[in-house]
Amino acid sequence: MRTRMGEASHPPTFPKLPSPNVVISRPTYVVGVCPACKDRVALSPLVLFSDDAVIGCDSCGSNTPRHRLILEGLAVNDTLVWGFFASDIALQHGAEAQLGAPVLYELPQPTKAVAKWGHWEARPADLRYAATLSFTDDSAFLWLNELLPGSNPNQGVATRVHVEWTRFGVSSLDKVPAWRQSLYAAATLVSTNPSAAVVLIAAGFEAFFNDVARIRWKENQLDPAGFTRMSARNLPITSLVEWLPEAVGMPSFKSAPNGLHARWDKLVNQRRNSVVHRATVHMSSEEARESLRAALECCAYLDPHALVRPHPYYLQ
């Protein structure tokens, strides 16, 4: 800031709001996606994870079970759904923002020790605008951007716009199952590096399969040393999925309806092998999305609550 000789320069001041709310994600979904029209559907974050009630879409009127709305949100790469899926902590707040006037938050102490932050979402109530967030160790800054390209300026420029925002994180690296973190990493690469995404999708499914098989083995009171010995043999995943699910009381994967096992082998397993063993570096984003959907549907088949169970279940 330019000043005259002898005058002090004062830094700009910003309106400061109370610290954002700290939310624990179980994962705790607040939206899903309608399979019919692809619009978001509001979900209550207060229900039990096992609640699979049918919910109506306000946009098209379709009725869809809650778990399917969540699966669809993940499959179409809705970033808000993925944020809750792969985090155990989140910051949330809403503010009235004005163009060109940043809003400042002081971050609460518990969030300063978060091991890894993921992405953030900022959602203006007026969809003609965009909003951005920036963070330091101690503060968050919210900015309301100009009208989006293509917006009709004749509708009038709002002087203040309400903005809801969320920032997702992992409080400790061992708090969220590795398979959820792997699938989330894949989702972030679907558009920019689909070949790498395919590898992470396959790794995420294999980690999920190992976790849920180990837990079912334990729940059936089978010899713990037997599972350890089997794991030490490094049997190929193509062999394990053939017989292990039925051995631990899970539904048969090779007899899954709608050719699910064949889709997994083609879209997840074989595509991963193409990248890893044949350096197929030109996988398309559409192929990666197809692989991601197949992996998610396989997880939900082997464990109907796979996408909604509390994180600690898979860490036991």
pLDDT value at position 6? 45
With respect to residue 1, please indicate whether it lies within any of the assigned structural domains. no
Q: Are residues 35 and 135 in the same domain?
A: yes
pLDDT value at position 14? 58
Q: Are residues 141 and 215 in the same domain?
A: no
Strands across the sheet containing 21-24: 21-24, 89-97, 161-170, 116-124
Question: Residue 54's beta-bridge partner residues?
Answer: 65
Question: Residue 21's beta-bridge partner residues?
Answer: 92
Phi, psi of 79 (to 5 degrees): -70, -25
Give Rg (Cα) of the chain: 23
pLDDT value at position 113? 81
Q: Are residues 133 and 221 in the same domain?
A: no
pLDDT value at position 5? 47
With respect to residue 3, please indicate whether it lies within any of the assigned structural domains. no
Q: Are residues 70 and 146 in the same domain?
A: yes
Residue that is last in its domain, among 170, 195, 219: 170
- 289 lies in which domain range? 178-315
pLDDT value at position 3? 42
pLDDT 10s per residue in the chain (316 long)? 444 444 444 445 556 677 888 889 999 999 999 999 999 999 999 999 999 999 999 999 999 999 999 999 999 999 999 999 999 999 999 989 888 888 999 888 778 789 999 999 999 998 888 899 999 888 899 998 877 776 666 666 667 899 999 999 999 999 999 999 999 999 999 999 999 999 999 999 999 999 999 999 999 999 889 888 998 888 899 999 999 999 999 999 999 999 999 999 999 999 999 999 999 999 999 999 999 999 999 999 999 999 999 999 999 8
Q: Are residues 21 and 165 in the same domain?
A: yes
Give residue for tokens 């009381």.
249
Contact between 30 and 45 under an 8 Å Cβ cutoff? The reply is yes
Q: Are residues 210 and 136 in the same domain?
A: no
pLDDT value at position 157? 65
What is the pairing mode between strands 139-147 and 103-106? Answer: antiparallel
Number of domains in the chain: 2
Q: Are residues 156 and 196 in the same domain?
A: no
Q: Are residues 133 and 191 in the same domain?
A: no
pLDDT value at position 98? 87
Q: Are residues 211 and 87 in the same domain?
A: no
pLDDT value at position 99? 83
